[in-house]
Structure 1
């Protein structure tokens, strides 16, 4: 079975983080994503937006990783938002009811795309 690449990059500005995920989130790649969240949450951003425009597939394991990150962020008064999910991922969010748990954006919010200086 070919190894599916999961690329995760994160940019933190002014207490907000944008995590860009490319690839498939499943049983095999979820631990990598979990580790990225653990590292990110140590830095303490209160708002995390996940750019899922590059995610082709996300199974229940992947959704559980997102839910556990949301829970940890909410415990400290923050939040986790999903941006730009592809139709397949959006459908999973709708079928599972998670589209009402996460704030879902059609694209990464513009205020997070501009580099803030200071």
Structure 2
């Protein structure tokens, strides 16, 4: 399965939308998108997980690494609308207490 990644930005906030499976083979796509936003000095990144059907440890490591780098720059990263399978992975690994997880992707006009 493929992973499609798109980004949208307004001000210092960026939304990264991922759809498909996030695993060893597809994680570099998400990593590249997040790295680009970090280089552009985004101060808040929301990763829309509503279209992610599967996420393995490689995908989680990409997200953790981006969150760590963003925090070092004084920013924040949140995961939005993870599907039940991904939410379960977050809970089992304890990462639901590490990441900020929100139920919906915030609209740009409500920021």
Report TM bin, short chain.
over 0.9
Which among 39, 42, 54 is matched to residue 42 of structure 1? 39
**Partner of 2:103 in structure 1?**
106
* Structure 2 gap segments, 5+ residues each: none
* Counterpart Cα distance in 2 of 1:40 and 1:21: 15
Which among 11, 15, 36 is matched to residue 12 of structure 2? 15
Which among 56, 61, 66 is matched to residue 59 of structure 1? 56
Cα displacement (A) at 1:109: 2.1
Residues 70-81 of structure 1 aligned to structure 2 (within 5 Å): 70-81=67-78
* Counterpart Cα distance in 2 of 1:101 and 1:115: 25
Say what the alpha-carbon RMSD is for the aligned residues.
1.4
* Counterpart Cα distance in 1 of 2:42 and 2:83: 25
Cα displacement (A) at 1:33: 1.3
Is the 1:6–1:24 Cα contact (8 Å) retained in structure 2? yes
Is the 1:13–1:115 Cα contact (8 Å) retained in structure 2? no
1:69 aligns with 2:66: yes
Q: How many residues are paired up?
A: 111
Larger Rg: 1
TM-score by length of 2: 0.95
1:6 aligns with 2:3: yes
Which among 86, 90, 105 is matched to residue 89 of structure 1? 86
